[in-house]
Amino acid sequence: MVVRGGRGWHGRVLAAAVGVTAVAAATSVWTAQAGPVEERHARADASAHSPAPGAHSQARGGVPVAADIAHASDRGARGVNITIDDGPDPVWTPQVLRVLRENGVKATFCMVGTQARSHPDLVKAVVAAGHRLCDHTVSHDTTMAAKSQAYQSQEILDAERMITEASGGVRPLYYRAPGGAFTPYSRRLAASQGMRPLGWNVDSKDFERPGTAAVIATVKREISNGPTVLFHDAGGDRSQTVAALREVLPWLKQQGYSFGFPVR
């Protein structure tokens, strides 16, 4: 579930300030590739308090440019970024993949860590089809902006590990906070791990299941707000999403849009 971005989402992404505290060790679970998770969290925490590579002279207010929330498309002014949240789901993700394939569209899949771990075959199918991966945290906690940096670190880094392992080694390139609950710390942390924070401009409202026609109308009405469009492939019955994508994708092409990925 998401907190809605609404109009004028550029520059208004939710960002709750949290106190600067030391990040404690989160767990003692070992992984074959990364070593102790608590050591990995500590290393990432140190990175999160430093500007991302190449951004040393461009930091604004202590947050490096690489940690800015992305909305633009790499296809320019007439580009559209299709983003799919909360999966993968064994029922709906294959159907979404089929519609994307039929229309020749690549998308960004913002995956929940536990879902990725449960369905590694679907994560691999997403990657094999040429789509990109995005870290959507372990548990999709929309209140995480109000919680400790240690908690934020665990949610982001453990999900990154789960998604990477499920994909067979392909890392997520973006981080989308559940409900847009970004903090300066979580943005820096994601950037330090090579993941660009990712917002959205158009909320299709598909999560609420208002009816296929309403989802389509929302996208058509709001696409002038910006290129990044939010859909879902999990969290309940997503038949309206699948049906809406079948109409929206050809319509966007007819309007002269091309499909790309969020800028990195």
Residues 6+ apart with CB under 8 A from 90: 119, 122
Cα radius of gyration (the chain): 18
Written as six digits, the tokens of 28 are: 């003692």
CA-CA-CA-CA torsion sign (123, 124, 129, 133): positive
| CA proximity to 10, closest of 65, 72, 81 | 72
Residue 103 is classified by DSSP as: T
Active-site residues, by number, are 85, 232
Task: Burial-class residue 132 by CB neighbours within 10 Å (0-12, 13-18, 19+).
Answer: buried
Core vs surface per residue 78-111: b (16+ CB within 10 A) or e: ebbbbbbbbbbbeebbebbbebbeebebebbbbb
Q: How many angstroms separate the CA atoms of 143 and 165, rounded?
A: 26
Residues 6+ apart with CB under 8 A from 53: 66
Q: Could you tell me if 245 and 99 are in contact, meaning their C-beta atoms sit under 8 angstroms apart?
A: yes
Find out whether the peptide bond into 88 is cis, omega within 30 degrees of 0: yes
Written as six digits, the tokens of 196 are: 């660009």
